[in-house]
A and B are shown apart, each in its own frame.
Chain A
C-alpha cells in the first residue's frame, strides 16, 4: 500500500506541474461548457419554448390540454399562450412571436372517444426545437386520451351493466395524467438548462483526455526507462498499476468536481442531489479510465496511444451525447448512446438536474456506467502486462 501511495503521489505531482493537464482537466471544459451554454440560450436558462394554443374544441379534452400546459412540470420548459384562432397562431409562428403552436380542432372532445382525433402542430422549418416540443406535448395528450378510451372500454367490458359514474371516474383518472409527465417519461435524459447539461458533458469529454494522459503515462514511463526502474525496485507490478491508476482517478474526479462547483456557483447550473452527483462522477471516472486504459493496451508507442484514444474519445462523445443533448438526438442515436458509458452518465446527470431525487433515482445509469467500467477494467487488467513492463 505504501508503494501505491508513493507512486500515486509522484504521478499527481507530475500532473500538477504539467500545464497541459490543467488546460485539459479544468480550463478547456469550463470554457467550452460556458461557450456552448451561452450559445444555446444563456447561462442558467433552459431551452425554453413558447407555444401558442388554440382551443377551437371548447370541450373538456381541449380544456384539459390547455390546463396541462400550465402544469408546474412544463412551466420550466414551456410558456403557453392561448390565442383565439388558428390564423392568429399561424401569424405568431410566422413572425417568431412563438416557437410553435398547437391547434385543438373543433369537435376534438367528441371524436376523442372514437380514436380519430388529432392535434395540429404549426412551426417554422427552422424551429426544430419548438416543433419537437410542441409535437411531444401533443402526442402526450393523445396518448392519454387513448389511455382513457382504453380504460373506459375495459371497465365497460367487465361490467354487464356499466355504471355511468364508474365509467366517468375511470375516464377522468386516466386522462388526468399530465402531458408534462408524458413528455418527461418519453425523453431519454430529461431536458435541462444548457449550462447544466454541457457542464458534465464537457467535463466527461475532457475526462477522456485526462484519463488518456494517465493511460499513456505507462507508455511514457516505458519510453523514458522509469518503468524499468520502478519494476527493478522491491515493488509488485500491481502496485505500480494501482498507484498510477489512483493518480488518474484523483485528477479525473477533481476535474469533474471543479466543473460541478464552478458551473453551480458561477453559472447557476442545477446538478441535483450532491451524493448522487458525486457517485455518478466517480463511476464515470472509473469507466472512462478503464476504457482508455484498455484502448492504450493496443498501442505500442505513446504517439500511437494518443491517436487511438483521441479517435475513441470523439466517437464515444459523438454517440454518447457530449456534443448534442441526448434528448435532441434522433431515436437511433439515442439507442446507440445507451451503449456508451458517457451516454449513461449524461442521462444520470440530466435526470438529477431535472429533479430526480437520491441515488435510487439514478440507479440504472449508475449501474450501467459501473457495468461498463467493470467490463473494461477486467479486459484492461488482463492486458495490463503490456503497460506494466520494462
Chain B
C-alpha cells in the first residue's frame, strides 16, 4: 500500500451539547482520493477543520505526512492544501495577486513562485483572466481560483470542502477532472461533499458520515455490497414470459418479478451476483435474452440503508 499521508485517530469534537464529530478514524494514502460523504450537518466541515488545524479536537490525533497536527504545527500545515467551502480569496485582488500572496505565505518565492502560479492558473483554466479582480469572476471561475490557491505549494494532502456547491455543470466537470488528475499524480485527496454522484465518480474510498459518526467506509463496490436490497435487472426477452417469471420467482435471491410487454423486471438481493442465474434460467426455459440492464444500488441507497434518511434530508 502507498504511504499513508493522513492518519486520523479517534477524533471527537463537541460544541456545547452537540457532538459534531464522534470517535472518527480514517486514513488516506498518497495517490488516493478519499470521499467524506454525508448530508449537511453530518460533521464533514468540522472534520476537515480539525484535519487542517483550524479546530482542536476534544480527543484524538491527526498526523499529516508524519507530522502531528496541533494549534501551532507549522510543518503539518505546510503539507496541506486547503480548499474551503467558501470562495476564500480577496475579491479586490486579481487571481494572480491572490495566488502570489498565498504562495508566498507557504514560503514560495522568485522564479519558483512564478512557475507555480502559472501552473495553477493553467490547471484551472484561468490564464486569460489572471489579471482580473476576483470580484469580476463568475461563480464557477471563483471556485476554480479557490482550488488553485490550495495547490500552489504542491501539498502532500489536498483537502477540499464542498468545492462545487452552487456552480454550473461545466465548471463542476472541470473541477472534478482537475481533482482526479491531481490524485492520479500521487497527491492524497480528501473530498467532502453531499453530492453522491461526485463522490462516486472521484473517490477510491468513501467514508459515510452521519451525525458526526463514520457509519461505513470502503470502496464504492464494498459499500454497495453492504446493501443487499435496492437493485433490479431489466431483461428484454423473446419467449414465454409468464413461464420465465414463474421460474425466476423460484430463485432464492429474487424478491419480485414484474412481467412487461417485452421482458421482465427482477428485483432482488445482491443483484450483480444474481445475473448469471437469471441468464441460465432463461436459457433453460427456452427464452432468448435480447437485452440486459442492471441497476445496482448507489451510495444514496447505501446511505438510506445505513441511516434511514436520504442524503439530501
What is the total of A-B residue contacts with beta carbons within 8 Å? 69
B104 and A226 form a contact (CB under 8 A): no
| Chain A positions within 8 Å of B88 at CB level | 224-226, 228-229
A230 and B93 form a contact (CB under 8 A): no
| Chain B positions within 8 Å of A235 at CB level | 74, 77, 105
A14 and B90 form a contact (CB under 8 A): yes
A300 is an interface residue with CB less than 8 A from chain B: no
- Chain B residue with Cβ nearest A17: B92
A160 is an interface residue with CB less than 8 A from chain B: no
A234 and B75 form a contact (CB under 8 A): yes
A234 and B170 CA atoms in complex are apart in Å by 33
- Partner-binding segment picked from B27-35, B79-87, B179-187, B232-240: B79-87
Interface residues of B in 272-293 (CB under 8 A from A): none
Q: B interface, by DSSP: helix, strand, loop or mixed?
A: loop
Interface residues of A in 3-28 (CB under 8 A from B): 3, 6-7, 10, 13-14, 17-18
| Chain A positions within 8 Å of B87 at CB level | 224-225
| Chain A positions within 8 Å of B106 at CB level | 233-234
A14 and B92 form a contact (CB under 8 A): yes
Closest CB in chain A relative to B95 CB, distance in Å: 14
A7 and B90 CA atoms in complex are apart in Å by 12
B72 is an interface residue with CB less than 8 A from chain A: yes
| Chain A positions within 8 Å of B82 at CB level | 228-229, 232
Contact with A along B236-260 (1 / 0, CB 8 A): 0000000000000000000000000
| Chain A positions within 8 Å of B132 at CB level | none
A3 and B107 CA atoms in complex are apart in Å by 9
Interface residues of B in 134-157 (CB under 8 A from A): 149
| Chain B positions within 8 Å of A232 at CB level | 52-54, 77, 80, 82, 84
- Chain B residue with Cβ nearest A390: B54
B167 is an interface residue with CB less than 8 A from chain A: no
- Chain A residue with Cβ nearest B92: A17
A176 is an interface residue with CB less than 8 A from chain B: no
List 8 interface pairs A-B (beta carbons < 8 Å), by A numbering.
Answer: A10-B93, A14-B93, A224-B91, A225-B86, A229-B84, A232-B52, A232-B82, A232-B84
- A residues contacting B by CB (< 8 A) are 2-3, 6-7, 10, 13-14, 17-18, 224-226, 228-237, 390
